[in-house]
Amino acid sequence: MDLFEYQGKELLRKFEVPVPEGRVAQSPEEAADAARFLGGKVVVKAQVQVGGRGKQGGVALVDSPEEAQAAAEKIFAIDFHDQEGFKLKQKADAGSLNAQETEVWEQKQRQAQRASRVLVERASDFTSEYYCSFLLDRTKRRHLAILSAMGGMDIEAVNEEHPEAVVKVGIDPLLAFSDFHARALVFAAKLDTEARKETLQILPKLYRAFVELDASQIEINPLAFTAEGRVIAADAKVVLDDSAAFRHPFFDELKAAHEVPEQEKKAKSLGLNLIKLDGDVGIIGNGAGLVMSTLDVVKDAGGDAANFLDVGGGANAEVLSNALQIITENPAVKSVLINIFGGITRCDLVAEGIIDALGRLDVTVPIVVRLDGTNAEQGRKMLADAPHPMLRSADTMLGAADLAVRLAHGEQS
Amino acid sequence: MAVIVDNSTRLVVQGLTGSEGSFHTGRNVEYGTKLVAGVTPGKGGIEHLGVPIFDTVKEAVDRTGANTSMVFVPARFAADAILESYEAGVPTIVAITEHIPAMDMARVVAYLHRGELPATLIGPNCPGVISPGKANVGIIPGEVCTPGPVGLVSRSGTLVYQIVHELTQLGIGQSTCVGIGGDPIPGADFIDVLEKFRDDPETEIVVLVGEIGGDAEERAAAWAKDNLGKPVVGFFAGREAPPGKRMGHAGAIVSGSQGTWQAKADAFKAAGFPVAKNPTEVAQLVAELRGE
């Protein structure tokens, strides 16, 4: 779960990581109130999960409550894009999109995010901006701390152009973070001399937050050295490990602030793992790897998947029936591909679920079914014995993908 | 031979008395796997599926000579269960459990890697290991597999079934199929399993099934090129998956441009290993390599 900046900062404050004083506002009026409460210069920041929000107008430095209100009003009306989307937007504004870019830009526009909150914070002048993060190093299978004096910008770009300026220190999870790790980071990163002492104190606190919150990543960019000589987390990107929710009851509360597509929400409540995509071939499969591969073969057949849906292992008839309902409720879907390789999952139960869904729903798009593995023959026979005008079967994964794509494109089989 | 599990496997199951543990272990026993004990704290002394249940793994090992443990306990207890098996001296641990917190696995894997005891951890979040005709530890449906020369290692469970099925269509069997699991921090990674395939005379060709994210496939390709001495066919799921749904921003900084489908395919091609576009092509490439 990716947290909003304000959520991340609230958590970090509990670990005594210095963050600017601030208030969350859900309307321009609340933003004005927050500015009045804080007094003086404040910064109004869109709470969205995209990179480069500042470039897109999502951050405003203002002098008064009235200005804060006006800034918030503007921010609430911005369509925020990811970095690729923003590049395309600039091209679109300049009228220089080619045909392929136009197609991608149309997709990106549908994925745009609006801010439903702004964070109003007391502003301070920065002498320097650093970068700091803690994460899991999958390659070396341990924790990793990263510190750079070149913060406040895209750290990947810094890493490419000045790899020597990005200091990485691995941490054995059994040893945990020790002061020598902090010194190794701070001295090698060549922070301003006056900023070193406070940074040395902040790093162990960030590590403690990283471990105790079950974060998969904590990124502070920038970690700011202020004109008053303080070091503060001016931004915060915290990603929590959903698998650890059982020992952190507050994860659910944090999640409630996130907007999830209606279809994904409904799928989740039914125990299905769904990610909405932009194509027109609905996908149902079992196992993340097989479903990902199904998306790939649909693309190879010239189509685009409308979703990723993994019914998981051991799915029963009810799960399949629900899955089919959710997929066919998406008006963009022109055909459905059900690709099941039964291991724990029994194909006869899959067939039962499909027959149930076809019986209770008004399904108007073709459904291509490919069954293999446990009880596949039985499942295929059940489907053959329950003919439905929209139901098609296929013998192989590739054949099924090909048929589903042709049907989505309006061809008759 | 075969690797990890075979006729000498003596299996203890942690969580044998649970419904999942009972069901899948039952299938493993039907397949011919030698089950010797179960462990459920507080239920020591009873019998289940024809074997004694113990309170601790240590007791099970001492009394039955178990040499392989399968972990079927819920996620919140699973990291502890893995460590219990390790400390009891079990050399092969297969963890099926999904959703173990990554922070727990980082500690477990770091501890196992100190190497005071020789142990192989397969998983977590994996379908287990099958050596066709010899032993099956996990949830891979035994009936789709046949004995033969292909060693298969995969991050995905259902893709093991799909690809084994495709191989079977062409009459090609498997020495051992290993599901290493889909977690960011697995016990054994691709290279750990490739080392075992290298030393296994029955394994003539390796199929490596990866997916987007991380750089385990890239590292495996580089290692196999210089060390495996056997051909590898690669296949990776997720070429068309939307970016950003899995990989964190700072994750990308550690491995540069690695983690994408293209990076993995490029690494394989650079090592001289063919990459299949889909599961069907995996079997075709294997058949070509065998000169069929």
- Following DSSP, what letter does each residue of A56-113 receive, concatenated? TT-EEEESSHHHHHHHHHHHHT--B--HHHHHHHHHHHTT---HHHHHHHHHHHHT-B
A236, part of any domain: yes
Is B140 an 8 Å CB contact of chain A?
yes
Confidence of residue B246 (pLDDT cuts 50, 70, 90): very low
Q: Which of A109-113, A328-332, B68-72 has the highest mean pLDDT?
A: B68-72
The domain total for chain A is 2
- A117 — pLDDT class (breaks 50, 70, 90): very high
CA atoms within 13 A on the CB side of B29: 18
Q: Which two tokens stand for residue A132?
A: 């700091």
Q: Which of A403-407, B30-34, B234-238, B258-262 has the lowest mean pLDDT?
A: B258-262
Same domain flag for A228 and A293:
no
Residue numbers of the domain that contains A295: 262-408
pLDDT surpasses 50 at A323: yes
Identify whether A97 is part of a domain: no
Are the beta carbons of B211 and A305 separated by less than 8 Å?
no
Question: Do A311 and A204 share a structural domain?
Answer: no
Residues 43-72 of B with CB under 8 A from A: none
Look up A130 and say whether it is catalytic. Answer: no
Average pLDDT, integer, range A310-320:
83
**Which has the closest alpha carbon to B51: B19, B9, B11?**
B11
Residues B63, B89 contacting (CB under 8 angstroms): no
Cα(A243)–Cα(B99) distance, integer angstroms:
5
- Is A205 inside a domain boundary? yes
Residue B254 pLDDT greater than 50, yes or no: no
pLDDT band with cut points at 50, 70 and 90 for residue B253: very low
Q: What is the CA radius of gyration of chain A?
A: 26
Q: Which two tokens stand for residue B286?
A: 């294997």
Q: Locate all alpha helices (DSSP H) within B48-155, ordered by sequence.
A: 57-64, 75-87, 102-113
Confidence of residue B256 (pLDDT cuts 50, 70, 90): very low
Residue B244 has a pLDDT of 63
pLDDT at A224: 98
Which domains occur in chain B, in start order? Answer: 11-122 (3.40.50.720), 128-289 (3.40.50.261)
Interface touch A289/B209, C-beta < 8 Å = yes
Confidence tier at B257 by pLDDT (50, 70, 90):
low
> Which pTM does this prediction carry?
0.91
- Give residues 148 to 167 of B whose Cβ lies within 8 Å of A: 154-159, 161-162, 165
Let me know whether A131 and A249 are in one domain.
yes
**pLDDT-based confidence at residue A413 (cuts at 50, 70, 90):** low
Bridge-partner residues for B120, per DSSP?
Answer: B92
A395 HSE (CA, 13 A, CB side): 2
Assigned domain for A280 exists: yes
- B144 in reach of chain A (CB within 8 A): yes
> Is residue B19 pLDDT above 50, yes or no?
yes
Q: Could you give the CA distance from residue A70 to residue A57 in angstroms, rounded to a whole number?
A: 13
Residue A40 has pLDDT above 80, yes or no: yes
**What does the DSSP 8-state code read for residue B234?**
E
Radius of gyration of chain B (CA): 19
Query: Helices A288-300 & A397-408, crossing angle to 10 degrees?
Result: 60
Q: Look up A207 and say whether it is catalytic.
A: no
Which residues of chain A lie closer than 8 angstroms to B102, CB-CB?
A: 136, 214, 216, 241, 243-244
CB A13, CB A19: distance < 8 Å: yes
What percent of chain A has a predicted confidence (pLDDT) above 70? 100
The domain that holds A327 is classified in CATH as 3.40.50.261
Please, what is the average pLDDT of chain A? 93
| Among candidate residues A259, A288, A311, the one where a domain is terminated | A259
pLDDT value for A235: 96
- The 10s digit of each residue's pLDDT in B144-175 is 899 999 999 999 889 999 999 999 999 999 99
What local confidence, expressed as pLDDT, does residue A28 receive? 97
The catalytically annotated residue of A6, A130, A131, A207 is: A131
